[in-house]
Structure 1
Amino acid sequence: MGKIKNLLKKSTKIGASALLLVSTLLPSLALQGQLIVSATNASTTLAPGGAVDTGNHTWGLKDFQTANNYTPVGKNTSGAGWSSSSTYDFGTNQANTGSWLPFNGAVDMTQSIRIVGTTLANSKGLFGSGKILGDANGILLTNLSSSQLSGGATGGNLGVGNLGSGTYFIGNNYSYKKTSIIVRSDYNTATVIAQGNGPGAKILSASSDYTANNNSTNLFTMEWSNPVLNSDGTVTGTISYLSRNGSTNYISSADITVQKSMSIGFMAATGGNYSQMSVTVNEVTAGKGVQPVNVNYLNSLTGSQLAPKGTAWKNSTITANVGDKIGVVAQGNTVQTSDNYDYFVPVAPTGYNFKSFTPAVTVQNFPVGTANPNQINVSYTPLAQSAGFTFNYDPMAQRTPTVPPLYSVSGLLIRLSWLLLLIFKRI
């Protein structure tokens, strides 16, 4: 299989950010009996402990051909950008570059996925096929979000391994062969599926080697098929990538287990050799990846979970598409035009006033087992309480002849009869 192992050295490194966002204050609820609504007009009031679903969970080709639906990241990729409504130039026509075009949304791995398009690798000539081509061009599938990716890096031991075992590269690897200082031979190219995991990064599957055509487009088809939902919430299925070089198809496939919602994007990278690389998207069939948004109800004075009359208000759960902006509004208020979905906060319970809520969140994908970054806090303030006290006297105790007036006390209601009785016994 030639030098396909070089993918783990010469593909891009896109490092994980230093920190995840703050952890959830309250546990997430199981999503059962969800109400599917379109809340653009904030017609739905959240219920403590309840669950709602935004709906609209299918991607189409137009979504993947909209530039604003991506957040490009990369290193030394000047000139990267969209050359047409469906084609992205990675800006990799220089040594040691890493360029990724992550989609802001995510894909639902419990459903089949199909992405069809073309890739281009053009080394600007040098005697025909396979001369001085770049090193990797394909699709990156990861459990991280686009906000958890940095601008990439160069140096030794680059590759998908830097993103952990939940990241996969699916595409073409161009491995240049040089037999001597004078004689150069063509690249060995292979269609590969590779899994990251630091030093444990590995090639899961590879096609036979072939000499890539330079300065030509290669039709590709990426498919996720036969997904099975496991009892632990993961999904097992078959990932495959077909690349057509000339009239021959080169296919690689592997069975992998992933979480339900995965981020996806397109990637190109170079090492010492390089080329102009781009991707064109022509067909997409995919479900949208979703993640829960927790709406937590807090006592503004204590900062802890709201518990009117001793009964805790559990968080509400909003099932939303990754990339959507979800917010809440006070009863009777208008929605925020910048949000995809807004929901009314619950009416304040007896003895409390609504106070505030934190800003809307753009839903992020995140690895299972880590803190959910999608949190909205709603605060309620307890009202001042007034209480009247009537005093009774021990007829055998010495006391003043007048009856004390009725006192009102603001704040927490406290039972003081026994204390007052002791006081007046001493009068």
Structure 2
Amino acid sequence: MKKLQAITGMKDLLPGDSPVWQYLENTIRSVLQSYGYREIRFPILEQTELFKRGIGEATDIVEKEMYTFEDRNGDMLTLRPEGTASCVRACEQHQMLFDRGILTQKLWYTGPMFRHEKPQKGRLRQFHQFGVEAFGFKGPDVDAELLQMTASLWKKLGILDVVSLQLNSLGNAAARKAHRQALIAYFEQHVDQLDDDSKRRLHTNPLRIFDSKVDSTRSLFDKAPMLNEYLDDESKEHFDALLKLLDELGVNYTIDPLLVRGLDYYSNTVFEWVTDKLGSQGTICGGGRYDSLVEQLGGKPTSAIGFGMGVERLILMLTELNLVPEQVQQQLDVYILAVGDVKADAMKLGQELRDSVEGLRVQVHGGAGNFRAQMKKADRSGASIALVLGEDEVSRGVVAVKYLREEREQQTLTKQELFSVFN
């Protein structure tokens, strides 16, 4: 019989890897919450129409990458390829954005996303993201806060020196329309130099031509019309004010006129945090403003901005740069040996320790085994301390304490003395 395996591009997370994930997830949560962002959760499955209207039918995600199927009711459903559209849908459905006026919301979410791409280092078909969305904030101050917040996270993780912030402004709808027409006219004059993907995008999503990695196409970029030449005055003022705030906050950046992002809903500010430590998959966080998306999905005009960061790519960075704190890998604090007919006593001791010391991780030896065999398991467990409980210790009301990671003498302690070791 053929062995069943995980689907290509969808990986298992094994117990040995989960502590690093937990460390990263807890660090991100603490930073987001410190800025006043609250968690929201929504389904993995959504109506396909949500992503067609939100992301854009001419994007690669909708055209080629979504996992879409017809369910038994005849509805077209899609595994979410990103989180922003779902977040907007949830906020609109539960009237979180308007109640006799515009409401402000600062939200975050995390979970798996799905895209049918070619799996490679840092790019999977099921991948995990943290997303942040802020609604109802029109000025550039919230743009600056998001970038300050991400810089704060990178500093906390120890990667601020190996990432850089790239910025651009896409302007308003009128500016993008005028630029789009100029782009099409320019690239039509050089269509023989465009790669196949760029030819396909020429009349549907010409901005995405700037994402091409093909040399013949990239050689056209220097003389191509740039979006900043078409920006309206309001967009220029917004962008200039953002840059001034970032300068005052000490957040370093580079302006990249070719930065366009891959989703149709972006406008004005767009940004990416990039690194050269992950090869071709160098973007670890990206986002921008999407001031028209709420209205596009049936709501009232609402200012909005957000970003998504890739968990797998951040995990790769932390592990390859050896930035995971040593204590994160330790998954157990105490291992209790039960030598002789004392299993119930050992289990009671384990529970008393868990009840008396918040967060203490205690494992009681399971199954049979003499003292030597149990000590081997205790040492392999990674625990700091082994507690030895035999019939003699139970009769005397004491516990033998062996320090597994320190050069310290074995001790024999009463239960009361033992509890004081951990408090």
Q: TM-score under structure 2 normalisation?
A: 0.29
Higher strand share: 1
Higher helix share: 2
> Who wins on radius of gyration, i.e. which is larger?
1
Higher relative contact order (CA 8 A, sep 6+): 1
